[in-house]
Structure 1
Amino acid sequence: MSDGDGTRLIAVRYARAFNLTVIGIVAVWHAGYDLVIITRGWPMYDPAAAVVAAWLLLAAAQAAGAALVLRSALDARAARVLAAVTLAAGELAAAAYPPGAAISDLSWASNTVGWTGVMLLVRRPFREPVLFMLANIGGTAAHMAFDGSLDHVGATRLITVAYTTAGVQLTFTWLGGRLHRAARHATETAGQQAASRARAAAEEAVHAERRRRYEYLRTRVRPLLHGLATGRTDPGDDAVRRRVAIEAARLRRLFAETDDTPHPLLHELRACADVAERRGVAVTLLGYGVVPPLPTAARRALAEGPLLVLAAAATRARVTVVAGPGEVVVGVVADAAAEVAADVAAQPDGPSSPSVMHDREENRLWVETRWSPGGSP
Structure 2
Amino acid sequence: MFDQPYWNAFNQIPETGPATFRKLLSRFSSLKEAWEAPMREIKRCGIHPKTAAKITNLPKEIDPLKEWGKLRKNGIKIITLLDNNYPALLKEIYDPPPLLYLKGILTKDELMLAVVGTRKSSAYGRGVASDLVSNLSRAGLTIVSGLALGIDSFAHQATLQAKGRTVGVLAGGLDLVYPRANYRLAEEILVAGGALISEYPLGTAALKHHFPIRNRIISGLSIGTLVIEAGEKSGALITARLALEQNREVFAVPGSIYSKNSEGPNNLIKMGARAVTKAEDILEPLNLKQLTSSQEVRKIIADTKEEELILKSFSQDPVHIDQIVKNSGLSTSTVNSALTLMEMKGKVRNLGGMYYFLAR
Q: Do they fold alike, i.e. is TM over 0.5?
A: no
Structure with greater contact order relative to length (CA < 8 Å, sep ≥ 6): 2
> What TM-score does the superposition give when structure 2 sets the normalisation length?
0.18
State the structure with more CA Rg.
1
